[in-house]
Structure 1
């Protein structure tokens, strides 16, 4: 097992209980809670094979669903994010030919990173709430909850990234 695979496994095993035991119980105004689990999708190396990323993301979301009793909505949302992460990164960083082996978030300014985190959080939350409500008549509720949760998730993820990510440049 390589060191990159060990890092992925450690993040997998640490972020699931962090999300399930802590973040899912943080309720702001009764319904706003951060999705710290997005860190797994954000930190997953771009240079790894796509099929492994899709499988790992699905299993990651499924484990969160299993412990949260949420019926598979996180698995679907994580799988969708895994599928759309690279095109979103290319769009936000305005780099159509990203070199996956040399890509580092630290090479980019703060605003695109915030836009990326918010975009991933918005897609995740929109998928989760759309599948939870599964009714078009609740679209305003879905959008309101999606937007507020995405803002709070972005704030919390930025704090986590500033604490746990090194800032050294090469």
Structure 2
């Protein structure tokens, strides 16, 4: 269920128009991860059709992957609610996930025999930028993904 949309934020403008953003409160049930991915697809489809932005299939896939990993981690490690916000700029989509656990996650050391717990590594690899900010309650993780098939030269990794 959307928490808000198109609020004023100077950093999130779409071709000089009002910002394109949407927020969601995600339930604690097992279906919330699928719901989050669905919200992301719907949001990017609106950016593509309603705002005529060039949203590549790559951006659509990577956004769903990042949403899955961040929401899964929030549900797995943090008690309480999970909030997700999606924001589009002219050249990227930002996935913001807030949870109530103030512990800052860190990628684990490379271990080819480890099964699982690669989520943060994956998000770092496919995002142009990844930031974690502690909040008065919990933390906020923001991943930025290029909308085009050729991400900016500052990207940390490629899919």
TM range (shorter): 0.3 to 0.5
TM (norm. structure 1) is 0.41
> 1 or 2, which has the higher strand percentage?
2
> 1 or 2, which has the higher helix percentage?
1
TM (norm. structure 2) is 0.43
